[in-house]
Structures are given as C-alpha cells and as structure tokens.
Amino acid sequence: MPFTISSQLIQHQVEQALTEDIGSGDVTAVLLPENKQITATVISRQSAVIAGCDWFAEVFRQLDPSIRINWHCADGDRLEEEQILCELQGLVRPVVTGERTALNFLQTLSGTATTTRHYVDRIAGTDAQVLDTRKTLPGLRLAQKYAVSCGGGSNHRIGLYDMVLIKENHIIAAGSILNAVKTARRLSPKLEIEVEVENLEQLDEALQAGVERILLDNMSLRALRQAVTLNSGRAKLEASGGITFDNIRSVAETGVDFISVGALTKDVQAVDLSMRIKED
C-alpha cells in the first residue's frame, strides 16, 4: 500500500508549481468569459498505473474550491488506453489555468508508478522486492517514492537521515568496513546499517562486521549467486547497479532479497494524458 503523504506537503508542492506557471497572471485565461461553466474530461492515451490524484485535485482546490472532480479511478489502479480518469465541472478560467500544472503532477507520478509496475511484474513469483533509490527529481522525492509504492514497489531510505548506507568512498575515508560500521553503531545506534560491497572479499568483511543489510554493487549473476550462498541468510542482500528490465528477472532468480532500480524515478517517461473541455 502507498505510504501516507501529508496534505501540507502536497499543498506546498502545488503552491510552488502554480507560482512557477502563473507568475503575475494567466494572460490567456482572461480572454475567456468570466462566468462560463464547463465540463472537462481527463483521458489516458495509453495503458498505465495511476498516481498523483491528490496533487491533481489540490491544483484546482487552490485555484477555485468550487470546482468539482468526479474520479473514476484511484491511485494504484491500472488504466486502459482511452480510459476516463475523471471529470471536472466549474468555471472555465481556473480550469484552463490549472490544466497543465495538474496534468504535470498526474502524468509524472503515473509515469513512475507505471514503470515500477512493469519491473514488479517482471519478477513476479520470486522472493525479491523492487526498491527505489535517491535518484529522484529535486523537490519531488516523497511524491515519487509514493508513486513507486502505488506501482507495487518498495521504498529504500528516504534520505540521508533515516538509514546508514556505507558506500565505497565512506569505506576508503574510514579505513575499512569494520571501522565505518563501528562508528555508525556508536553515532546512530537506532538506525539500520547497510554496507556496499563490490566483491566476495568485501562481502565477507561486511558479514564479519554483523551488518543487517549488504548492497551488492554491479556484481555478475555468478557473483550474486555466490554471494547468496556465502551469506546463508545472515544479512539481507540488495543487488544494485546495471539493473534493466531485461536482466532484472535473472537477478531476482539469484536469490537476493532486494533489487534497487534507479530508473524508476530517474528516467521518468510521463504517461500520455489529455484533458478535453466542453461547454455545460
């Protein structure tokens, strides 16, 4: 299930987006009759997984709370091509002013959810989980991680504060994996610790340090299988680096617990959505 996003965060993100788009005023919308009532329909031009309904609705709430939205779907639902997502009724000016910003949120977050669902479906039947990363659009991290959960994926750490992830440069600076882990346990005793390793020797060192989770970076399928055997269930194993839609199934079948995929949030391909207006 998607994790909860605060209404305050959604309000803030929408406010910023509207300010960016409207600026000193919508000089085209004022050409339209001020009191004209219209109905608008949002349609998906492709099959997809929907995410971002609250952001879409918040755009029109901020512009004109009297605009009514009738949803035919909810976040996490699969959409078919030419499916109606929702219908809006209200004054034409705020509807056309908010159209692009509202669709930007909806199509971007739905793009993340849709990509995630493709990857999740690809490894169906295995025990591995698809994870997101911190490779997110600036300012939209929580929104994108929410969209990942709508698509059936799982969230890795949210930021630099909620989990210790000791990577190559940390290990070099600390002197060794053991030194870095010892310091992490002293400074952040309540947080889960994950260590990135690049070979089986480093994996053994991380296991000796007793960490809860180990990231296997850019390892071959053969090395991943060897890592799973060597680990023998002692730590949770995460495969990362070079993961594609074509190879993720093979990676999952090695027996790793998690597979992190930067493409879920980094290589966003927005879903093709369209809004069409008709007079009431």
Active site residues: 100, 135, 167, 196, 217
Q: Could you count the other beta carbons within 10 Å of the beta carbon of residue 188?
A: 14
Kindly state the tokens that stand for 77: 């639902």
Distance between CA atoms of residues 178 and 76, nearest Å:
42
- Structure tokens belonging to residue 207: 């296991």
Cα distance between residue 204 and residue 278, in whole Å: 65
Contacts of 127 (CB under 8 A, 6+ apart): 252, 255, 257
Q: Is 131 helix (H, G, I), strand (E, B) or coil?
A: strand
- Cα torsion 261, 266, 267, 270: sign: positive
* Separation between Cα atoms, residue 261 and residue 14, nearest integer Å: 27
- Rounded CA-CA distance 272/249 in Å is 27
Q: Which of 107, 113, 137 is nearest to 270 (CA)?
A: 107
Residue 258 burial (CB count, 10 A)? 20
